[in-house]
Structure 1
Amino acid sequence: RYGLDRVERVMDIAFAIDRHLDVHKGIGRKPYPVREVVEREVKPRPYADLFGEHTFALHKVVVGERLPPHPEKDLLWFFAQYAPLEPWERDVLEIIRAESYYFYPQFATKILNEGWATYWHAELLQHYAGLTPSETIDFGVLHAGVVNPGHRLQINPYYLGYRILTDIERRWDRLHAQGQSALTGRQKLFEIRTHENDVSLLSNYLTQELVDELDLFAYGYACEHGPEDRKKCRKCGEIEIKSRRVEDVVRSLVAPRYNYGVPKIVVSNVLDDGTLLMEHDRGDLGTLDLRYAEKTLEYLHELWKKPVRLRTTNSQGEPVVLKYTAAGFEMGEHIGLLNPPDQARLSSPPTFEWTAGGNDSFSVNLSLDPNFSFRNYSTYYDGGIIIRETRWTMPENLWNLAPKGKPIYWKIRGVRSADRPQTIVESRDVRHFLRV
């Protein structure tokens, strides 16, 4: 009825965000409450009647003030509910969302499940007396392939899960024999199968001894320099072993298992003009791959049919806004410094100039400290000078406070006033001048 190409296009869009779920809220969710005033009963404090207070009270509250009322991480649900879609398009999104919920438990227990299957495969065939010598060899070859440690890009979950479970069985059998555990190794394995997932299995049962035996390690880039320093560093881009400590290895193994293995991205607000604001909560899990971010924002813009903006940070921790509009993908909304040039020697009050970067309000920050760690000779956004243009001339009274012969550092902060919460972006560069 709708055409294969149209249906597949919507499916492609849904699959691009199918892991961005809120697994704790479940499949069945009601839409957000509409804006209305409701009365809610307020429970009395203990012994309120002794102080002459009413035993109950009705309190009027406003619900449904904004969309969404809280940061929303279930992206498929949000777009199915609030994007201007045709009914069949909503159905496609909801079907793929339900399918993603179905597969989540398998994702959360991948190492444990595969280790469990491998453990019993080996256990049953090793104790089965009916195998011929030829069948025993066939089993050994097959099992060796299953528990191959992995390759250079990732570790084999069958191997890791199997080794952790056999290590647990051995340790708990020893504890049981010493009277230190009521459970045998086999009983402990059934307890773990019932209660644990991959994150808790790795966090609670991977030991330093097993890390050393399996030669596990955490790795990363040799250094994380900025764009300028990166040109001078020979080690930038090289990958090296960072740690062999069990805590660091566990952190590396469990990191891709949080949040269904995808970046934590939420819908934070819908502006009056329909622009969709999204936030990337980076945490310690790295930055976004711009190739995937651009294509995904294109998909979301196709669903939302209004501009979509995603706030994130780059590898240096600097704020970056990714935007997709009818004109296409844009990466920017950062502020560029224009004048005065860096290391300028000035004998009169300077005129500062910069690019807007999508912001409409600005403040000039001045400091004797290049890190701006203290408010020495500074103007600040909160209570400082608010500028509606992209240029500002320092007044004479402030210029007269500037010490002579010392570097005075400056940067710009910008605010997009329409955003709720407001987007605050700082210039990437810091420049300085000297008063002579």
Structure 2
Amino acid sequence: MSKSAGASDLLFTGSDWTFDTLSRTYDAIKEVALDDLGLDCYPNQLEIISSEQMLDAYSSNGMPLIYQHWSFGKHFVYEEYLYRKGRRGLAYEIVINSNPCIAYLMEENTMALQALVIAHASFGHNHFFKNNYLFRQWTDASAILDYMEFAKGYVSRCEERYGFAAVESILDAAHTLMDQAVFRYRRPPRISSAKEQARVRERLEYEEKIFSDLWRTLPQPRQSEDTTEAEMEAQERKKALNLPEENLLYFLEKNSLILEPWEREILRIVRVVAQYFYPQRQTKVMNEGCATFVHYTIMNMLFDRGKISEGHLLEMLHSHSNVVFQPGFDDPRFSGLNPYAIGFAMMQDIERICTKPTAEDRDWFPEFAGNGDWRGTLLDAWANHRDESFLLQYLSPALIRKMRLFALDDESKEKHYQVASIHNERGYEKIRSSLARSYDIGMNQPNIQVVDVDLLGNRHLRLQHTARDGIVLSESTRDATLRHVRRLWGYDVSLVGVDAEFGNVLYETSTDKFAG
């Protein structure tokens, strides 16, 4: 220890915690986080919960308020089974991107662990939520809890009025399409609980009277033998409907001819929830890396100042090591790169490059190598990147060697893998690009869009899947999902798979083959 600490200097001495100890430790952590690291956070709210409540929070995506659905219960039973059998531990904490930022701490945690997770969640994650550009653009931390309260109450009232089975049916269909229910390229509207209540009242009062009759009174389309004229009509139709549309639930909510107003509102609720979690899916490495680096740095600073004993620091480091453990590729526990491990390693590597750069670092990172300002460099990276761009710009050759990363070519027509990139100048670029691309949601999730629908004709909804690298959708899950789309649309739905590179059709399917 750099300072000899007496018992009176320590924030805590035993394993048990009290609210006074938590408060004193929180204040010390806050001082380091704000004054030494320069973090900018929402106000914090700490909630102490039991292990069963933590399991319950798992099952509902960590939200304290959310509507009921059987999938949450199924998730709860599964997690509880693994936990009781000792095959899976529980998270030390769950943190919610809200204002104030809510962190759930398990009451079973020791005081040392409580300190660790306060630094991790209430300051690391909190700072990232408040400052990263994706969260600033795509979420509204001040409104999400009020909206969730509104959503829970609305779904509950629908169950009372229309029946549990009817509500469950619409939720099942909406949940199936959650991955295709986000705006990726344009900013969604801000949510407001008060505005939602007023808008719902307006929808319930007026839409029931005018929506269905409007479509029944529209004239039938003029039949034309002229192909050019037909194409022009199709272009006008697509322009009027803003096609193609990537957000399937949004399109169905706005344009389905069969949905009742309350069903449209439930679709909106599900897609708002999907949109809320969208930035978290794009920043897993950065978010966890930021929080892990923050807790590691704060705990060591408190130890250096004599606020934490050696024993408690070792306990924290043991938990920290478990979190950032990365099994080798030939380890039975290997399931891919641990986002905590690679995120934390990159944050530490940036600190090293800023303070003790090598000649190689100066060649690769001339803009910040040796600038001495690792705090400012990290704060800038946390604010302005997502996983893909962060890896592409900050993953160093030194860290590639340290983590023994290499790239493989996996061709379905070949019997064996081929090592495509190793640790050389060209290989570093390829490894970094390949790893960054693997964190691009656009590359890993199906690109399915609404491309056409003739509302004045047979109302056939046409979807297109742009397949990358010739990878098509699983037939069983594809057809099952199309049934849910038809349930929401009310008429036949077709899906065509098109190769992204050559534009040729890979497959076609339609609900008319299994209608009824």
So what's the TM-score if we normalise by structure 2? 0.50
In the alignment, which of 446, 449, 467 is matched to residue 263 of structure 1?
Answer: 446
3-state DSSP of counterpart to 1:321? strand
The structural deviation recorded for 1:81 is 0.7
The equivalent residue for 1:355 is none
1:292 aligns with 2:484: no
The structural deviation recorded for 1:209 is 2.7
In the alignment, which of 51, 76, 85 is matched to residue 259 of structure 2?
Answer: 85
- Contact kept? 1:111, 1:161, Cα under 8 Å: yes
In the alignment, which of 89, 100, 104 is matched to residue 278 of structure 2?
Answer: 104
Q: Deviations over 1:271-310 (max 9, x none)?
A: 4322111111223483323332122111111111222111
CA gap 1:62/1:274 in 2 versus in 1, 3 angstroms: closer
- Contact kept? 1:219, 1:243, Cα under 8 Å: yes
CA gap 1:7/1:212 in 2 versus in 1, 3 angstroms: same
The structural deviation recorded for 1:220 is 4.7
What is the distance in 2 between the residues matched to 1:280 and 1:112?
30
Q: How does 1:278-427 map to 2 (within 5 A)?
A: 278-284=463-469, 286-313=471-498, 319-328=505-514
The equivalent residue for 1:66 is 237
The equivalent residue for 1:124 is 298
1:26 aligns with 2:208: no
What is the distance in 2 between the residues matched to 1:281 and 1:326?
22
* Bigger fraction of residues in helix: 2
CA gap 1:182/1:132 in 2 versus in 1, 3 angstroms: closer
Matching residue's letter, 1:168: I
The structural deviation recorded for 1:69 is 4.0
The structural deviation recorded for 1:97 is 0.9
3-state DSSP of counterpart to 1:10? helix
The equivalent residue for 2:44 is none
CA RMSD after TM alignment = 3.4
Q: Deviations over 1:183-213 (max 9, x none)?
A: 5122211111121111110111112332222
In the alignment, which of 289, 299, 304 is matched to residue 115 of structure 1?
Answer: 289
So what's the TM-score if we normalise by structure 1? 0.59
Aligned residues: 289
What is the distance in 2 between the residues matched to 1:316 and 1:176?
41
What is the distance in 2 between the residues matched to 1:246 and 1:93?
45
What is the distance in 2 between the residues matched to 1:18 and 1:208?
38
- Contact kept? 2:468, 2:499, Cα under 8 Å: no
- Give ranges in structure 2 of 5+ residues lacking alignment: 1-160, 191-214, 219-231, 328-332, 363-367
In the alignment, which of 302, 306, 320 is matched to residue 143 of structure 1?
Answer: 320
* Bigger fraction of residues in strand: 1
Matching residue's letter, 2:334: R
What is the distance in 2 between the residues matched to 1:286 and 1:323?
16
CA gap 1:155/1:291 in 2 versus in 1, 3 angstroms: farther
- Contact kept? 1:287, 1:315, Cα under 8 Å: no
The structural deviation recorded for 1:9 is 2.2
The structural deviation recorded for 1:253 is 3.9
What is the distance in 2 between the residues matched to 1:294 and 1:219?
32
Q: Deviations over 1:330-360 (max 9, x none)?
A: xxxxxxxxxxxxxxxxxxxxxxxxxxxxxxx
- Contact kept? 1:287, 1:314, Cα under 8 Å: no
What is the distance in 2 between the residues matched to 1:194 and 1:321?
42
The equivalent residue for 1:210 is 399
1:195 aligns with 2:195: no
Sequence identity of aligned pairs in percent?
A: 27
What is the distance in 1 between the residues matched to 2:442 and 2:471?
14
What is the distance in 1 between the residues matched to 2:174 and 2:440?
21
Matching residue's letter, 2:309: T
The structural deviation recorded for 1:261 is 4.8
- Contact kept? 1:219, 1:239, Cα under 8 Å: yes
In the alignment, which of 120, 126, 134 is matched to residue 311 of structure 2?
Answer: 134
The structural deviation recorded for 1:325 is 2.1
1:5 aligns with 2:176: no
What is the distance in 1 between the residues matched to 2:376 and 2:463?
47
Q: Deviations over 1:233-259 (max 9, x none)?
A: xx54x5554434334433344334333
CA gap 1:306/1:10 in 2 versus in 1, 3 angstroms: same
- Contact kept? 1:176, 1:182, Cα under 8 Å: no
The equivalent residue for 1:17 is 177
Q: Deviations over 1:109-163 (max 9, x none)?
A: 2111100110011111122233223212211210111101254332111111111
3-state DSSP of counterpart to 2:179? coil
The equivalent residue for 2:11 is none
Q: Deviations over 1:81-128 (max 9, x none)?
A: 111211111111101111112112222221111001100111111222
Q: Which moved more, 1:209-218 or 1:320-329?
A: 320-329
